Amino acid sequence: MSEELFEKAGIFAESLYKCTPKEHHPNLLQHVSLVFEYGVKLAKENDADETVVGLASILHDIGKVRGKDNHALSSAELSASFVKRLPLEMSQKKLIIKAIRSHDNEFSREDDEPEVKIVQSADALSRLFEPGWEQVNWSQIPREYIEKHYNKFDSKLTFEAARELAKERMAELKKHLE
Ligand SMILES: [Fe+2]
C-alpha cells in the first residue's frame, strides 16, 4: 500500500522537481531520494508512521519550483490537493502537510510529532551524507559557509536517533570551525 502511494507521489513530485531551476538546488532529485531513504529507515526503526514520513519526504521540497524563499510553505501548499485525494486517514494527511511545512526551522516546535522531527532530521542527514563528502576540499570553503550549515544541521537534527547517526559528521564539521 505505501509503495503504491510512494510511487504515485514520486511521479507527481518529479514533474515539479524537474522544472525547478538548478540554482535553487543543483542535485534536487538525489537530495530528495536520500531524505526519503533516511526518513523511511528512521520511521521503521522507531515505530513512526512510515507512510506519513515517506510521503512528506518525497514532497517536502516541491515548493522550490517557486524559489527557495519560503519553500516549505509553498511545498505544503502545492502538496495539499494531492495529499487530500490519497486514501489515508485525515490525521495522516494533516501530519504529512505539517511535516512538509515544519521541515523549515521557522515552523518546527519542540513538541512536534516524531514523524515531523524525522522528516526535518532526514533533510539534514541527506546533506551530511551527500555523495562526495570525502572529496571536499575544506580549506577552500569559507568558514562562515561551514558555520552557517553546521548551525542549520544542528537545529534540524531534532530526532534523537538521527542526531546519533549524524554525530561523526557533525564532529568533523565542527573541527573545521576550530
Ligand atoms: Fe530538503
What is the 166 CA–ligand 1 centroid distance (Å)? 16
For the chain, first and last CA: distance in Å? 48
CA dihedral 90, 99, 119, 31 (to 10 degrees): 110
**How much is the average pLDDT of 49-65?**
97
Could you tell me which of 59, 74, 62 has the C-alpha nearest to residue 5? 59
CA 9, CA 160: separation in Å to the nearest integer? 27
Q: Which three cell numbers stand for residue 32?
A: 530528495
pLDDT digits 0-9 by tens, 115-136: 999 999 999 999 999 988 888 8
Expressed in angstroms and rounded, the spacing between residue 170 Cα and the centre of ligand 1 is 18
Tell whether the model's pLDDT for residue 160 goes beyond 90. yes
Residue linked to cell 551524507: 129
Task: Please report where in the chains the cell 513512526 appears, as a residue.
Answer: 48
Ligand 1 midpoint to CA 151 (Å)? 16
Greater confidence, 79 or 27?
Answer: 79
CATH topology of domain 2-175: Hypothetical protein af1432 (1.10.3210)
pLDDT at 118: 98
Q: At 165, is the pLDDT very low, low, confident or very high (cuts 50, 70, 90)? A: very high
- What is this structure's pTM? 0.95
Average pLDDT estimate for 6-34: 91
Distance of CA 28 from the midpoint of ligand 1 (Å): 8
> 6 C-alpha vs ligand 1 centroid, how far in Å?
17
Residues with CB under 5 A from ligand 1 (ion): 61, 123
Give residue 174's pLDDT: 95
Domain segments of the chain as ranges: 2-175
pLDDT at position 75 over 90: yes
